[in-house]
Structure 1
Amino acid sequence: MSNLKVAVVGVGSMGSMALWQLAKAGIDAVGFEQFGLAHERSAAGGESRMFRTAYMEGADYVPMLKASRKLWQELEAETGQSLLNLNGALMIGPKSDERIANVIRSVEEFEIDHEVLDSAEAMKRYPQHWLDSDEIAVLDREGGVIRPEMAVFTAAERAVELGAQLRENCRVDSIVESGSGVRINADGKDEEFDKVIVTTGPWTARVFPQFADHLVPRKIVMTWYLSKKLDDYSSENFPAFGRVGGEIQTFGIPALEGTMTKIGSVATFGDVEVPEDLHRDVDLAELGAINREVARCHPGLESTPSRISVHMDAYTTDEHALVGPVPGSDKVFVLGGYSGHGFKLAPVMGEIAKDLAVDGVTSHPIAHLAPERFTV
């Protein structure tokens, strides 16, 4: 048992997993969450997220994604909860698109179980999609769907079972290095820690103003569509998908509850100046692009949404996260700015956070995510 005492500030997507990993390692860990557990004020809301290993954002992520899948399954085994459904994921777009090239590179370099379908083959197998003649679909058989709110709740509760403390509705007002440790002031009380892991999502730039020029919270809008043929969009018949090459980049999730199919835009809906004041209304004109893509690419779905929800995430200028020690410190670590594509990585990010707090280093490949790239 380590004598280390570690705080996790923000028990959401990444923080819940960090708390679980710390507790699992026998570390004295305390999680601070300013809202209730598994709230939907940031990036974990919306009841579903896609898991994929054939990665559009670059093959550098694949080793972490494979490690993350193993950890998702470990969390399921420890808790008996079903969190990850590996029903496959389709990556769709023009073969010439750089993001599709990244997908092909990912599956070939890392021997991901996959199949490449031309447009005719893809539409025959998955008539829920319409493809242009120059488009292909890469079926990532190691992909699927995650339940985010349940995952955050499950990881945090498992951490508590293993000995961690969880302080909900407890806002951290300051984090100050003091001598050999770090002092946290939360709800008017000071407490000393050896290390602090900050996973505050859209609030990250408020905690670390030095990143403010490169890190901004943005509004995310999720949309669900109805169909007369519900079975066509079940998880058995309709893999999760990501699509590029159209008017906007889109993603989709099967009808998990047997009613509506989630088709969303990867585009964001404006910067959020004050995270507490996230504006949750959506003008119908803002949905024009996603509705046009649904009408063009998904002939079996109604082309206007029956359900809309609003969330937010922190985006960096290069759309890659900040993961590592805060520049100039060996006691405070940041994991933030996942730019809309982080949830699938949450368990491995929790392990990385634990590694950094306990050992100062991690074996996972995070050099491209180093926070100092924005401060040098």
Structure 2
Amino acid sequence: MTSRNLSASMSEGAIEDEAHELVSHRRNRRMRSPRVAVVGIGSMGSMALWQLAKAGIDVVGFEQYGLAHERSAAGGESRMFRTAYMEGADYVPLLKTSRRLWQELEAETGQNLLTLNGALMIGPREDPRIANVIRSVEDFEIDHVVLDRAETMARYPQHRLEDGEISVLDREGGVIRPELAVLTAAERAAALGATIHDHTQVEAIDEKPAGVQITAGGKVHEFDKVIVTAGPWTARVFPQFSAHLVSKKIVMTWYLSDRLHEYTPDAFPAFGRVGGEIQTFGIPSLEGTMTKIGSVNTFGDVVLPEQLHRDVDLAELDAINREVARCHPGLRTTPSRVSVHMDAYTSDEHALVGPVPGSSQVFVLGGYSGHGFKMAPVMGEIAKDLAMSGSTSHSIGHLSPARFSA
């Protein structure tokens, strides 16, 4: 063999070795778990962090405030959990999975987060939202009871119904403790290996061909995938959705009663009510003195979420006070406690869940429009699925961000 042929042979061998090395590198890259960031450790972000850490993913969370802070939709002591869903039966499979995951988080941590004392849906039989509730319980075999006006008031004298109104008792519903749930999920994620940077503001998210750079607290971090769960700040992160996404002020109110024993969790299921001047909801007394009766209606747009105006004019409470006087004979008709929060609302009041249009590395979970907290654990599981494979087996087609893409 001449030196020329020997040189050529060695060159061919080197090329072959290099090709094998490249294939091996690509295979290892495919097999390697992605490094994932979660931006915003609130309702959805805390659950995404928990699910990703539980799956053994290298996950880092960024939160501009402290854990379980009150500046977003996770505040207010309590949230209703319901599977008989006014917003549409498409949500029921997600809610059933979410209930299982709530109980799984409780089992892992020993915390009491979900009380299944039932949820009562009230309104005119012909109202489309009540029709959605009935479709939900029938199509998905939810344990329930349908009660007419007289039956409802006999069983639950805390409510006064009008002619033609009915109620549907969702026995699979109840009450969630949101602040405790956020903190519990985040701390469980940390125990499973997640890294949490609280009091750390994300200044930039920059997609690169090989990943995503996050600048936070003046430092640059490299990730394969990014999950953005920014709540009221979602439109600021993704201005392409601003025509369909706005943050709104939420006001919650609590009322005293001379008959408090009628408003304990064992006597008073959580409820949602339509057909009146405004849509309302209620939670039994958890802290022992007051009952939460709130308005689903929002109280104006929030232009700068970090400057949420927390004052409430007395006139702003007129509508909810009238509904309390009309529908709840056992409660005082002016609130003894008021708190202000906010959430991001889409133009169709269904969330944005999935890849940001044009990206395979950045995903958004936002715009839950005031009815998302009950679904937080399953949304965490969906976030994990998206980060690991880009898709999920959960049915979220109706929540695709692409529906608002220009």
Paired residue type of 2:71: R
Give the one of 38, 41, 45 matched to 1:8. Answer: 38
* CA–CA separation in structure 2 for the residues paired with 1:281 and 1:149: 22
The residue number in structure 2 matching 1:289 is 319
Cα deviation code 1:337-372 (max 9, x no counterpart): 000000000000000000000011101010000001
Is the aligned partner of 1:208 residue 2:238? yes
Query: Is 1:263 the counterpart of 2:327 in the alignment?
Result: no
The answer as to whether partners of 2:247 and 2:301 remain within 8 angstroms in 1 is yes
Picking from 175, 198, 209, the partner of 1:179 is: 209
- How far off is 1:170 after superposition? 0.3
Q: Matched residues in 1 for 2:247 and 2:231: separation?
A: 8
- The CA distance in 1 between the partners of 2:260 and 2:318, in whole Å, is 24
Within the alignment, does 1:305 sit opposite 2:335 as a pair? Answer: yes
Counterpart of 1:15 in structure 2: which amino acid?
A: G
Query: TM-score normalised to the size of structure 2?
Result: 0.92
The amino acid of 2:303's aligned partner reads E
SS in 2 for 1:245: coil
Q: How does 1:201-280 map to 2 (within 5 A)?
A: 201-280=231-310
Answering whether residue 214 of structure 2 is matched by residue 189 of structure 1, we say no
Q: Which of the residues 188, 194, 200 maps onto 1:164?
A: 194
Deviation at 1:258, TM superposition (A): 1.3
After superposition, what is the alpha-carbon deviation per residue over 1:25-64, rounded to whole angstroms, capped at 9, x for unaligned? Answer: 0000000000000001000000000000000000000000
For residues 151-183 of structure 1, give each alpha carbon's deviation from its aligned partner in whole angstroms, at most 9, with x where no partner exists. Answer: 000000000000000110000010011121000
Q: Distance in 2 between matches of 1:282 and 1:224?
A: 14
Contiguous gaps of at least 5 residues in structure 2:
1-30
Aligned residue runs from structure 1 range 82-231, under 5 A? 82-231=112-261
2:370 matched residue in structure 1: 340
* Aligned match for 2:108, one of 67, 78, 84: 78
Q: CA deviation at 1:3?
A: 3.1
Q: In structure 1, what is the Cα distance between the partners aligned to 2:259 and 2:348?
A: 40
Q: Whole-Å Cα distance in 2 between the matches of residues 80 and 107 of structure 1?
A: 30
Q: Deviations over 1:64-123 (max 9, x none)?
A: 000000000000000000000000000000000000000000000000000000000000
Distance 2:32 2:309 in 1: 44
Asked if the contact 1:119/1:136 (under 8 Å) is kept, the reply is yes
Separation (CA, whole Å) in 2 of partners of 1:202 and 1:309? 17
Distance 2:94 2:38 in 1: 21
Question: Matches of residues 25-104 of structure 1 in structure 2 within 5 Å?
Answer: 25-104=55-134
1:188 Cα offset (Å): 0.8
Structure 1 residue ranges (4+ consecutive) displaced by more than 6 angstroms after TM superposition: none
CA distance in 2, matches of 1:97, 1:351: 33
SS for the counterpart of 1:137 is strand
In 2, the alpha carbon distance for the partners of 1:78 and 1:138 equals 32
Give the 3-state SS of the residue equivalent to 2:268 in structure 1: coil
Paired residue type of 2:321:
N
Paired residues of 2:232 and 2:342 also in contact (CA < 8 A): yes
Q: Please, which of 346, 356, 363 is the counterpart of residue 316 of structure 1?
A: 346
Structure with the largest fraction of helix: 2
Q: Structure 1 vs Structure 2: percent identity of aligned residues?
A: 78
- 2-structure distance, mates of 1:41, 1:93: 32
Work out the CA distance in 1 between the residues paired with 2:332 and 2:100. 37
Deviations 1:266-295 (A, max 9, x none): 000000000011000000000000000000
How many Å separate the matches in 2 of 1:191 and 1:33?
Answer: 14
Does the CA contact (< 8 Å) of 2:263 and 2:291 recur in 1?
A: yes
Counterpart residue identity of residue 155, structure 1: A
Matches of 2:113 and 2:288, distance apart in 1: 17
Counterpart Cα distance in 2 of 1:154 and 1:368: 29
Structure 2 counterpart of 1:90, which letter? L
| Cα distance in 2, alignment partners of residues 323 and 221 from structure 1 | 25
CA distance in 2: counterparts of 1:362 and 1:46, whole angstroms: 31
How far, CA to CA, are the matches of 1:272 and 1:133 in structure 2? 38
Residue 2 of structure 1 and its aligned partner are, at CA, apart by 4.6
